[in-house]
Structure formats: C-alpha cells, structure tokens
Structure 1
Amino acid sequence: MDRVDLDLAWTRQSGMDQEQRDEKASADLLQHLIRYPEDLLDIRRLQRSFGVPSQRVAQVLWKVSPRH
C-alpha cells in the first residue's frame, strides 16, 4: 500500500471530507517541498505521491517560490 492509499484510508476513518483531505495533502506537499526543494523538478511524481491535482501542485509551488 503506497502513501496515498494509507493517507486516504486514515482520512476516511477519521471522518474527514474531500476538502479536508485536499488541504491535508497540500500541507503535506508543502512540508515535503520545504524539506526537499530538489523535488520541485518532478511535478508529475509529486502529483502521484501526494494524490493532488496539478492545479493544487501549482498553487503550492507558487507559495514556496523564492519570489514570494
């Protein structure tokens, strides 16, 4: 079972709705990128790993961009 499956199982058990799951996945992605900035180079892998749509990945990348 991969990371996304484990997170989904946990959030379903905890009673989180889809919006809360998306927020948690985005927060997890943001923390990951702060810790491993080199992973910015592979957006598709980030999408699969964190189970978030490309638009959400782009929003998180915008937040961690050095311009901001």
Structure 2
Amino acid sequence: MTDHDHDHDAASPGVDTAECPVMLGRFVVRAKAEAKGLVRNYNGRTYWLCCAGCVPKFDADPAKYAIA
C-alpha cells in the first residue's frame, strides 16, 4: 500500500530501469523519470524516483533513502 494516492510509471526490473528509493519494490524507466525531472543526485549517486509524490520525501531526507 502506498502512502500517497496517484499514478506511478511502474516498470519491471531491467537494464533501463531503477528501483525508486522511496517506494521500494517499485521500478521506473530511467529515461521517463529523467524526462519528468524525477531524478536526484546525492553523495555522488543518482536516484530515479517513480512519481512526483516521492520527490519531496526524498528531498526532505535524502540520507534516509540513499543506498549505503
């Protein structure tokens, strides 16, 4: 169950996809996320987000969602 209610650009795991760090288990096509501005860089790593609802969560506490 998500904690925000709207559509996601869900995808299956694959070469051109990434897992959203906020909504674990939800994959997004990297190019689509980039086109929508759903990409963040933190500590030298790139994170692709699945939807606009994940952006403020990631931005508020990127360390919480960053991969160690």
- On whether the aligned pair clears a TM of 0.5, the verdict is no
Q: Which has the higher strand share?
A: 2
Q: Which has the higher contact order (CA 8 A, sep 6+)?
A: 1
TM-score, normalised by the number of residues in structure 2: 0.28
TM-score, normalised by the number of residues in structure 1: 0.28
Which has the higher Rg, Structure 1 or Structure 2? 1
Q: Which has the higher helix share?
A: 1
